[in-house]
Structures are given as structure tokens and as C-alpha cells.
Amino acid sequence: MIKSLRNQLVVALGMLVSVIGVVQGVSSYKLSQAGMSALLDLRLEQVATRLRDGFAEAIPQNPARGSQDDRDVVIVIWKTGESLPFRSTDPSLHFPRDAKAGFSNSSVNDESWRIYTRQDPTMTIQVAQRSSVRRELTQENAAMTLWPIAVLLPLMWIAVVFVVRRSLRRLNRLGLQVQAIDAGHLEALPTRGVPDEIAPFIHSINTMIERLARSIEAERKFIADAAHELRTPLTALQLQADNLAPHIVASNQDRFQELRHGIARSSKLIKQLLRLARADAPIDGNPMTRVDLAEVVTNAVADVLPIALQRGLDIGAEEMIDAHVRALETDIGMAVKNLVSNAVRYTPNGGIIDLRMRREGEMAWIDVIDNGPGIAEESLPRVFDRFFRANMDIEGSGLGLSIVKAIATRYGGDVTLKNRDDGQTGIVASIGFPVEEVRSAEHAAPIATDG
Ligand SMILES: Nc1ncnc2c1ncn2[C@@H]1O[C@H](COP(=O)(O)OP(=O)(O)OP(=O)(O)O)[C@@H](O)[C@H]1O
Ligand SMILES: [Mg+2]
């Protein structure tokens, strides 16, 4: 079964055109054959009529052999009472003298002939022509009528493909727009110029998009509100714990520290939840600036430098390029920091982390490459899911990459996470944004610690 509407239409219309073409071709072939046959018969009849009018004597008595044109007719004239023909243009042929008057088909010398016999009181006139010659003539003539169809048929197919494609182009464009709809891109489809047949679909899709956007926004607001509401009691809890600290007896210290750790972890989770809710929210109103990506990279490295030094990690930025993005500065900074902090968190002590920038068309990319353990291939597709953690041994809320994804989507960018393919273990985390402009080529600005 053909799934594509376009192919279905092309095949159906093409077949229809072909059937019409074939029927037309066959009928004109047959008609032309019949017409030609009638014309040839008429010619035989005319020759016979002329001979009756006294032209019979004009035929030589002993025609030279071979002078007879293959395609031409053979004439035999009998006089009443005589057993041999009075005249014959080809004496080697013996036509049946008693053939019925009018047209008949007869086999003479193993060949089929079309004969016109005219019985007059004084003579019998026979004008004959080879059936094979007649067939050749009628077929030649009929074949000529097939030429226009043979030329037109492929042209009709091309026209069908062209017309169908043109008509469905708008549908294809709409299809692509529908395909682009996702949680991060919920815009109503354009309704102007849409064919009447698909307008109801577009209308329902738009209603659905509206409803979806509203429920996503409600969910985001709920998360933001819940996180916000939880922040105050947690801060109070933390304060209480701090006040309580000097009064905890030594035997309870372990359990007390666990309690404080739990409170800290919850605070972190709530902070990440708030960040995610903010990254998902519409930008409206907040002033966007021209953010220098190289500066963002430098800052992200500087931020983790103390921990990196402490853990003996060699972190450096190289291959910097001049690229700017129009965005909220805090967003871009947070996205890159999340990737760098993942690299720092999941790379064992003494590891190497490199930050690189590259340009690909309209996008500027920042790669964060570590030589940690990497991520199991089956877990990779889920790393951008909320609360997903591939490694349960190391503490984390599982929201960092969801925040990065939300920020990348917000500016029409993208983020990818792959295991290294250069023979080493580790992750290449890349975030790309459409650049506002890139001026000069690469200039090195290495910041490095010796691990
Ligand atoms: N560079 C990396 N190397 C190895 N695993 C990684 C790396 N980056 C991310 N991961 C894995 O992907 C999971 C999801 O990362 P994500 O940043 O979303 O959450 P998190 O780091 O656990 O928590 P959060 O960032 O919210 O504090 C992590 O739990 C970790 O298992
Ligand atoms: Mg993280």
C-alpha cells in the first residue's frame, strides 16, 4: 500500500491518463486500419471499372516478368467462352475464375489475396492485391496515428507529477511545521492560504497546541510555586539545625550530620527545580544582551578552578572563537556551567577536562570534553530527562541537563551528549547557539591548571 498521499495521487492520475491514452491509441489504430482497408478496396473497384470502360486492350499481352510492382495490383481479364485469360498482368498466377462477384479472399500460389471480381455479360474482370501488402500498408498507416499518443503520454505523466507536487507543496510545508511542534516550540500553525479541505485539521491542531501550551505553563507554574513555597520552611529548618549544632552531643553527631546533609540536598534540589522552571518560562520582559561566548567559557572554567585544583583535575579552555549570542547572560552562563560542573563531578581525581569552541554554519558550539568513565550507551538517550541519573554513586538531582536543554531550546540552539570516539573514555558534552555574529578567526586564550 502506498502511504504517501502525493504518490497515491500521482499513481492514480497517471494510471487514468495512461488508460485513456491506451484506449484512445487502440481505437485510432483500429479506425485507421479499417479506413485504409476500405480505401484499398475502393482502389481495386475503381481499376475494375476503368477496365470495363475499354481500357482492357491497353494491357500488354505478354507483360515483361518482374515489371510488376510488388505493391501494385494484378489484373486478370477473361472473355466469355474462352478457357485462358484474355489478359493477365502476371500469367503465373491463376485466380479462380468462378469467384463470386464483389470482394473475396483467396489463396493463390500459397499466398493470400484480396480479389475484386466483376462479372460482365462479355467478360470477367478480376483485380487482386496481396493480403500481406495490404496488411503492411494498413499497419504502417495505423502506426502513424500512435505517434502523438506515444509522445503525449510521458508528457502527461510529467504534468501529473508537477501538478500534484505543486498542489501538495503547501501541505508538505504544514507537515514540517507540525513536525517541529514540541514542548519547547508551541506556536500556532498559520491559517492563511490553507486549502479549505485541511483548514479544519489546522484549526484542531491549533486548539490542541493552545491547550497543550496552557497545561505545560500550568505545570511549570506549579513547580515554580511549589519550589518557592518549600524554600522558606527549608531555610528555617537549616537555621534551626545551625542553632542546634553546638548542643548536639558527640554520640548523636553522626545522625545530626546526616540530617544537615539531607537538608542541604533538599535545598539544592529545590534550587535546581526553580532554575528549571525559570528556564522553561517565556522570556518576556527580561532584557536580552549580546553575550560573549568566549567570556562565558572563561568564567565557567574560573568558577570550578578551586575545586579542580583541589581534586587535581587539569581543566583548560582552548581553540576559542569570537562568537556572540543574543540572550539573557545568566542563561548562557548557567547552561555552560552545568556542563562543566558535570565534567568536574563525574571525572575522577587527576582527570583532564578540555573546553573548546567551534563554528558550524550559523551555530557556535562549546564542547566540554572529559576523560571520566562516560555513560552507558543505553542510558545516553535519557540523560536529558528530568531526575534521570546514570550514576547513582555520585550525588546529584538529575536536573542539570534538563535545565541545559531548556536553555538551548529557548534560544534555538541544541545540546548533545556523546561518549568519546577517539579511543579514550569520557564524555563530549556540546552546546550550540545560533550566533549573532562571528568576527575574527580563532585566537588562543588558554587558562589552565596543571593537574
Ligand atoms: N560528564 C559526565 N560524565 C559522566 N556522566 C555524566 C556526565 N554528565 C552527566 N552525566 C550523567 O548524567 C546524569 C544527568 O546529569 P544531570 O546534570 O542532568 O544531573 P546531575 O548531575 O545528576 O544533577 P544536577 O546537575 O541537577 O546537580 C548524571 O546523573 C550523570 O550520571
Ligand atoms: Mg549535573
Any atom of ligand 1 within 6 Å of the Cβ of 343 = yes
Residue 363 phi/psi, 5-degree rounding, is -105, 145
Give this prediction's pTM: 0.64
Cα of 72 from ligand 2 centre, angstroms = 99
Q: Quick one: pLDDT band at residue 38, thresholds 50, 70, 90?
A: very high
User: Which ligand gives the minimal distance to the CA of 417?
Assistant: 1
Q: Is residue 329 within a helix (H) or strand (E), and if so which, with residue range?
A: helix 329-346
| 363: Cβ contacts below 8 Å, ≥ 6 apart | 413, 414, 432, 433, 434, 435
pLDDT-based confidence at residue 222 (cuts at 50, 70, 90): very high
Residue 308 has pLDDT above 90, yes or no: yes
- Per-residue pLDDT, 80: 85
pLDDT of residue 450: 47
Checking if the pLDDT of 55 tops 80, the result is no
Does the CB atom of residue 344 touch ligand 1 within 6 A? no
- Pick the more confident residue, 32 or 6: 32
User: pLDDT, tens digit, for every residue of 256-271?
Assistant: 999 999 999 999 999 9
pLDDT at residue number 63? 66
How far is the first Cα of the chain from the last one, in angstroms, to the nearest whole number? 63
Per the model's pLDDT, the better-predicted residue between 49 and 183 turns out to be 49
Over residues 182-194, the mean pLDDT reads 79
Residue 389 Cβ contacting ligand 1 at under 6 Å? yes
Helix residue spans in 362-421 (DSSP H)? 400-410
Tell me the C-alpha distance between 283 and 193, whole Å: 31
Is a pLDDT exceeding 50 seen at residue 155?
yes
Residues 6+ apart with CB under 8 A from 259: 241
Instruction: Give pLDDT, residue 446.
Output: 47
Task: Quote the CA–CA distance of 349 and 246 in Å, as a whole number.
Answer: 34
pLDDT (mean) for 405-425? 95
φ, ψ of residue 235 to 5 degrees: the values are -65, -40
Nearest atom, ligand 1, residue 402 CA: 18
Q: Closest ligand 1 atom to the C-alpha of 269?
A: 26
pLDDT greater than 80 at residue 438? no
Quick check: 187 pLDDT over 90?
A: no
Please tell me if the CB atom of residue 364 comes closer than 6 angstroms to any atom of ligand 1.
Answer: no
User: Which of 337, 353, 382, 401 has most ligand 1 atoms within 8 Å of CB, for mutation?
Assistant: 401
**How sure is the predictor about 65, in pLDDT bands with cuts at 50, 70 and 90?**
low
Lowest-pLDDT range of 17-26, 186-195, 388-397: 186-195
Q: At what angle do helices 329-346 and 253-280 cross, to 10 degrees?
A: 140
Q: What is the pLDDT of residue 64?
A: 60
Considering only the top CATH level, what class is 199-280? mainly alpha
pLDDT band at 445 (very low <50, low <70, confident <90, very high): very low
Confidence of residue 68 (pLDDT cuts 50, 70, 90): low
Between the CA of 443 and the centroid of ligand 2 the distance, in Å, is 30
How many CB atoms are closer than 10 A to CB 388? 14
DSSP for residue 66: T
Q: Is it the case that residue 451 has pLDDT exceeding 50?
A: no
pLDDT tens digit sequence for 361-380: 999 999 999 999 999 999 99
Q: Write the class of the CATH domain 289-448.
A: alpha beta
pLDDT score recorded for residue 329 = 86
Per-residue confidence band for 326, with pLDDT thresholds at 50, 70 and 90: very high
Residue of 75, 73, 80 lying closest to 120 (CA atoms) = 80
Q: Where are the domains of the chain?
A: 5-144, 199-280, 289-448
